[in-house]
Amino acid sequence: MQLSNGKTLTLILLSALLLGVLYCYISQSYRVVSLGSVWEEITADGRSEVHIESHHLVAPDRKLVSSEHLQYKQPSIVSGRTDVVAVTPWLAPVVWEGTFNPVLLDSIYKPQNISIAVTVFAVGKYVMFLKDFLETAEQHFFIGFNVHVYVFTDQPTKVPQVKMAAGRQLTVCSVPSSKRWQEISARRMELIQTLIEEKLQNRNDFIFCLDVDSKFHGRWGTESLSGLVAVIHPGYYRDDRSRFPYERRPESRAYVGPGQGDFYYCGGAFGGLLQEVHQLAKTCRSNFEADAKEGIEAAWQEESHLNRYMWINKPSKVLSPEYLWQDFKPRNPEVYIVRFSGVVKNYAEIRPNV
C-alpha cells in the first residue's frame, strides 16, 4: 500500500513522538555511562575529529530523596546571591557559598551509604605537604562519610601516621621517582586510570583527584557530588578567555583555539562518578601519549589535556574558586569562604628540574 506524502509525514511525527516518550521513561530510571575509549585527533587545519569506541554500563540514577521530618529554611528562586553566576550556559550548577543547604544535602546522601575515593600524589619533596593535607581533610572533607585516600609516593616510609575517623582509611601506593616534575604531573592520569580499573570498580561511588600541596580550611562535602566535576582556577576566573593558558598549538591534542573554551579549570582538583573520571583519565592519557610520540608536551601537561576534555565533555557541576584558592592571593569579595587552598611554596626548592 502506498501512502500519500501527508500520511507519511504523520507517521514519521508519531514515531518520533513515541520514541521521545520511551526515551523520557527510560531516562527516569537509568543513566548511561560510557566506559570505552574516547580520543581526539586534531587535523592540520585545526578541526577536531572525535573517535569513540565504547560499550556502555547502565546504572540506576541516584534519586534525591529527602527525609519527611527534616526542617530547613524555605528556598527561594527570587532572592539569593546576586554577585556571582550560579549556573553555566549548559545549565550545570556553579557551587558558591550561599547557593546550597549542607544539612539538606547531607540528609539526602547519607542514607545512600556512598563512598568517596581520593587520590593525592606526594612524590619527591612534595611529601612534606602530606601531613597538613591529611590532617585538614579529617577536619573538613566529607565528614561523616566513607572516604578512602590513596597516596601515591616514592617514599612510603615518610607517609605520616594520621588518626582517621571511623569509615575512613588510607592506602599507600608506591611509584617511581622522576627527575622532571612535568613527568610526575603527566603520569597522574595513567595512575588514576589504572587505580580505577584495578582497585576501585564496585568499591567506590565517587572519586576526587587533589593536589597534595594544599590544605582544607572549610567544608568540602556532598554539595560537590555530580557526574563530572570541575573546579574553576582561581587565577583566571575574572579574565577573558583569550588570556587563559590553554595549549595553543594546533598540532597538540590539548589544543583549544581562539574564541574557544568556557572556563579555565584546575588540574589540581577534579572528580565525579567513578565511571566519568575513568573516561576523563583514559582519554587524557591517550592524548598525552599520542602527543609525546610526536615530540609534543602540552603547555601545562595534564591540566592542558583536562581543559581540552572538559571543553568538549561539559562538566555536570562546576565548583567555584572556593574549592581551590591560592594562599598567596587575597580573597576577592565574592569569595565568602576558602574551602581548599594551595599553600605558599618555593618551586625552586621542591621541583627537581626548576
Q: What is the sign of the dihedral through the CA atoms of 126, 131, 137 and 143? A: positive
Q: Which residues contact 177 (CB under 8 A, 6 or more apart)?
A: 123, 124, 154
Q: Identify the three-state secondary structure at position 124.
A: helix
C-alpha cell at 126: 612534595
Distance CA(178)–CA(185), nearest Å, equals 10
Q: Identify the three-state secondary structure at position 70.
A: coil
C-alpha cell at 1: 500500500
C-alpha cell at 182: 612535568
Q: From the candidates 97, 247, 302, 303, which is the catalytic residue? A: 303
C-alpha cell at 205: 561511588
Distance CA(60)–CA(44), nearest Å, equals 42
**HSE value, Cβ hemisphere, 13 Å, CA-based, for 148:** 16
C-alpha cell at 171: 592506602
DSSP of 78-91: SSS--SS--B-TT-
Give the pairing type, strands 48-53 and 37-42: antiparallel
> In this structure, what DSSP letter does residue 117 have?
E
Q: Could you list the residues known to form a binding site, using ranges.
A: 121-123, 126, 211-213, 233, 303
Q: Identify the three-state secondary structure at position 134.
A: helix
The question of whether 303 is a catalytic residue gets the answer: yes
Residue 211, φ and ψ in degrees, nearest 5: -80, 140
Q: Could you list the residues known to form a binding site for Mn(2+), using ranges.
A: 211, 213
Q: Could you list the residues known to form a binding site for UDP-N-acetyl-alpha-D-galactosamine, using ranges.
A: 121-123, 126, 211-213
- Supply the residues annotated as catalytic: 303
